[in-house]
Structure 1
């Protein structure tokens, strides 16, 4: 099920989009969970997690464009489709990586065409991103930015290439189910490494972006070395 968020201060416009989404889901045999927020400020304060955001631009207080700029400070991945009658914002929209614009009054044919494009991005992102808790709420990160994942007591720790560490309760096995198996390799019972972030491969350990040295367990060492060799196209 895909999570769709509509940020729209006019109830009639929000319901129109909700209806279009239900119609589109039926036609494409998809399942959507649709939430509506009546203001951009509520989006920023709640840090609502979604797979796709429809954002009205012309809203009182913080407008949709300003909200998108704030959103991008903690979420660089979630696709945004602006819904607007303000064509002059189109250029600014590309600065926040907007997927598309839908011009009011919204017609279903145009909406469906733009949804096709947006859903291709959503489908790709579903395999490439993680929504992880922070002190302020949630941060959406690209899996490519994770150097390794390990355990600290009852927490799973995600180490990012910028030095940030994000934690959530759970097990490494649960975390592994959400990570791309083509990139992430288990090197011990307590550690997964992103092979794309490995900078040095040794017989006993690997070093990842940022300098962390991570050691193979005895049981995983042979498999880890073989998998790394295949990944980088060389032998040890």
Structure 2
């Protein structure tokens, strides 16, 4: 069962998306559990356990961009699809890693395209979350790769690993880490750091900030390469019609 939330202050838009999902369910033999909300406040009151969220940007009260930022503080998993009258909002939303954009007015087939992408994504990522084994100071350390925010090399073959709320000390070099993780989500903006781009919240000059408040410097000589890598990463998430 795939769980979907629709948050829009236009009842007609909610009805249209629901109709598209229902027709898709019948034609593709996929079960959906659909919930609808008229504002961001109502959506944020729920447990936020959705596979996909259709989110209107321009709503009274908390707008869609702010709602998405608040969602990301408690839920990194849900895929957010912005529903908007203005495609330029895409440039303001990289930090929440949107799954797609739907520009109003839209045809029913556009929602079908989003659902196709969702099914494909869930199928490709249905395997058990990747867990890596690191050389902890007190023995082997197992961590889910998606939960790692930053690796910081502190010298003498010692690395600090930062997750959302914990830190761990391991042995090795950053080149050892890159050889182990095999993930395009990680990049090295500085000789002493590797950061998971999934958890970047914002950029400010030569400093990156993660969603849990960590600060990571960008070396001047690595700035262009990092910008290219991050742009590639963002384009993977922002797929416009």
Pick the TM interval, shorter chain. 0.5 to 0.7
CA shift in 2, pair 1:60/1:124, >3 Å:
farther
1:176-187 to 2 correspondences below 5 Å: 180=128, 183=130
TM superposition shift of 1:118:
2.8
Structure 2 counterpart of 1:187: none
Unaligned 5+ residue runs, structure 2? 143-160, 162-166, 170-179, 182-241
Match of 1:94 in 2: 94
Deviation at 1:39, TM superposition (A): 0.6
Structure 2 residue 56 is matched with structure 1 residue 56: yes
Determine the structure 2 residue equivalent to 1:198.
Answer: 134
Aligned to 1:186: none
Q: Distance in 2 between matches of 1:200 and 1:43?
A: 40
* SS at structure 1 position matched to 2:74: coil
Tell me, in whole angstroms, the C-alpha distance in 2 between the residues paired with 1:49 and 1:25.
Answer: 20
Cα distance between partner residues in 2 of 1:87 and 1:112 = 19
Show CA shifts across 1:103-125 (max 9, x none): 11220122212321233234445
1:5 corresponds in structure 2 to: 5
Q: Deviations over 1:72-106 (max 9, x none)?
A: 11212211111111222121233311111111122
Gaps of 5+ in 1: 128-179, 184-193, 213-230
Partner of 2:118: 118
**Separation in structure 2 between the aligned mates of residue 94 and residue 211 of structure 1, nearest angstrom:** 29
Residue pair 1:81, 1:99 contacting (<8 A) in 2 also: yes
Deviation at 1:126, TM superposition (A): 5.2
Asked if the contact 2:48–2:75 (Cα under 8 Å) also holds between the matched residues in 1, the reply is no
CA shift in 2, pair 1:59/1:197, >3 Å = farther
Q: How many pairs does the alignment contain?
A: 149
Question: Equivalent residues in 2 for 1:56-95 (5 A)?
Answer: 56-95=56-95
The question of whether the paired residues in 1 share the 8 Å contact of 2:21 and 2:111 is answered with no
Q: Does the 8 Å contact 2:133/2:140 carry over to 1? A: no
**Does the aligned pair in 2 maintain the 1:100–1:118 contact within 8 Å?**
no
Rounded to whole Å, the distance in 2 between the matches of 1:103 and 1:57 is 11
| Partner SS state of residue 81, structure 1 | strand
Alignment partners' CA distance in 1, 2:111 and 2:126: 22
* Kept in 1: contact 2:4–2:34 (CA 8 A): yes
- Which stretches of structure 1, 4 residues or more, deviate above 3 A after TM superposition? 122-127, 207-212
Pairing 1:129-144 to 2, within 5 Å after superposition: none
TM-score, L = length of structure 1: 0.55
The equivalent residue for 1:46 is 46
Q: 2:103 is matched with which residue?
A: 103
